[in-house]
Chain A
Amino acid sequence: EVQLFDSGGGLVQPGGSLRLSCVASGFTFTSYAMSWVRQVPGERPEWVSTISGSGTSTDYADSVKGRFTISRDNSKNTVFLQMSSLRAEDTALYYCAKRGSGSHRHFDSWGQGTPVTVSS
């Protein structure tokens, strides 16, 4: 069974930093791209970032480019999201998500989410 456990969220002041983690189990971690998706309660999900299975390729939403960095440690089945220069508009529930098999690029498994609040 695929399991994703995301953590690291919390309350941070504007301009501050936070590092999210997602520990995965139940599948061959290196074979799948992993993503972070965020959602403000009552709104649609918003894709944030994706990293390839090998970790050599990354992509970011324009809203976080230059401020967030995605990485992974394949020896620990863990993906990270380093967030810096945080803004109030980054406040959301952050989910890690596993890319599905094949070419459709869908997200077939999600963590439970870790909340990030940016406020003074």
Chain B
Amino acid sequence: DIQMAQSPSSLSASVGDRVTITCRASQSLTIYLNWYQQKPGRPPKLLIYGISTLQSGTPSRFSGSGSGTDFTLTISSLQPEDSATYYCQETYSTTFTFGPGTKVDVK
């Protein structure tokens, strides 16, 4: 099975800060890497798929990049509504494993 890791596990940043979350897979995912945002009491919400394609409705301050086993979610200018947990997910294998999550707190 593919193992997924994320760093950091949590972070606290101020409004307007640039925030970067890293996701690392145990094997190459080619293009099959997605990012979700989850707020308390809500289902996960797709932000980015295929490494860098923004889902309809995702604000342009979010961007995704990377290749092979290493990927990044960047929030260019953090907003109060970005307070949430962010998960990466591989869909290269048939188990669609999610990363452990990164909790983002907006000061």
Using a CB–CB cutoff of 8 Å, the interface residues on chain A facing chain B are 35, 44-47, 59, 61, 95, 100, 102, 104-113
Contact = CB atoms under 8 A, between A and B. Distances in A.
Contacts, number: 54
Interface residues of B, number: 23
Question: For the complex, would chain B's binding face be called helix, strand, loop or mixed by DSSP majority?
Answer: loop
Contact of A105 (B53, B87, B91): B91
A105 B43 contact: no
B46 A107 contact: yes
Interface of B: 31-32, 34, 36, 43-46, 49-50, 53, 55, 87, 89, 91, 94-101
A21 B31 CA distance: 32
A73 B94 CA distance: 23
A61 B43 contact: no
Nearest to B100: A44
